[in-house]
Amino acid sequence: MLVTIKSRGFSVLPWACYPAVLLLFTAFALAQQVEVVPINHASLVLKWNGKAIYVDPWSQGNYEGQPKADLILITDIHQDHLDLQQIAAVRKPDTVIVAPPAVQSSIAEAQFLKNGGTTEVLGIGITALPAYNVTRGPSAGQVYHPKGRGNGYLLEMSGKRIYISGDTECTPEMKQLKNIDIAFICMNLPYTMPPEEAAQCVNEIRPKVVYPYHYRGSDLQVFKKAVTAPGVEVKLGNWYPGDSK
Ligand SMILES: [Zn+2]
């Protein structure tokens, strides 16, 4: 027989219900967690609340076993970020694509966000942030990523704030980011920044967790050592599973 107990005049659940409530609570808590799946270079998949969020899907990545995308975020126009073939492979009819206006000629049906633009998709708050070179470029007076073209993204889900840098150097805007739970920070020369500079940026942002990504050819141990701000955990994911090194 179930026994209902009363506490200060309120009916509370029968004891027999508590395991079920605990299971439900655990299932809910697990659904609210963010799972990080490194794919390749700038590409990753985030899983949250039964949704799959793809960043810069690229055909050099192995997507075996991954669900189709509910949301695709595109950061820039270069091949490692904008790959129409792979976007077509991972999308379904109702997939939402969020991208900077610079890719409009390639993907007509995306939601376009300029730097500073915001939207909400599937309960996820999305803010497009500037991603650009301050100094580095192919020749004097030119930069690889001019300000205003590419987007980094700040995602807000279940109260968690996730920052995806896109291709960028350590910009003044990045240094002002606060209360970041998980940061994905790019590095690699000559296009973005060296690991020391990326680490300095992380020391300013102070995320709870940082994943270096887009790091081909960079020494992650240098990065790890140079992240000295208290309370920052460096997590390493394998973004280059095909490489022998
Ligand atoms: Zn890139």
Please report, for the domain that includes residue 190, its CATH number.
3.60.15.10
Tokens of 17: 């219900």
Residue 58 included in any domain: yes
Alpha helices (H) along the chain: 18-32, 84-90, 172-175, 195-205, 220-226
Residues ≥6 apart with Cβ < 8 Å to 17: none
Secondary-structure breakdown of the chain: helix, strand, coil percentages, each rounded to the nearest 5: 20, 30, 50
Per-residue DSSP letter, 195: H
- Decide if pLDDT at 178 tops 80: yes
Residue type, 144: Y
Structural domain span for residue 75: 34-234
Which pLDDT belongs to residue 137? 87
- Decide if pLDDT at 5 tops 50: no
Residue 12 included in any domain: no
Is the separation of the CB atoms in 78 and 167 below 8 Å? yes
Looking at the structure of the chain, the number of domains it has is 1
Residue 15 included in any domain: no
Residue 2 included in any domain: no
Per-residue DSSP letter, 69: P
**In terms of Cα–Cα distance, which of 25, 90, 17, 18 is closest to 58?**
90
State in Å: Cα 235 to ligand 1 middle: 20
Q: Is 68 exposed, middle or buried (0-12, 13-18, 19+ CB in 10 A)?
A: middle
Q: Give the environment of ion ligand 1: residues with CB less than 5 A.
A: 80, 167
> For residue 90, what pLDDT band results from cuts at 50, 70 and 90?
very high
Residue 156 included in any domain: yes
Residue 25 included in any domain: no
Q: What percent of the chain has pLDDT over 70?
A: 91
Residue 219 included in any domain: yes
State in Å: Cα 214 to ligand 1 middle: 7
**CA separation for the pair 242, 60 (Å, rounded):** 9
State in Å: Cα 23 to ligand 1 middle: 42
Which pLDDT belongs to residue 19? 75
> For residue 242, what pLDDT band results from cuts at 50, 70 and 90?
confident
Residue 10 included in any domain: no
Q: Which residue would you say has higher pLDDT here, 182 or 3?
A: 182
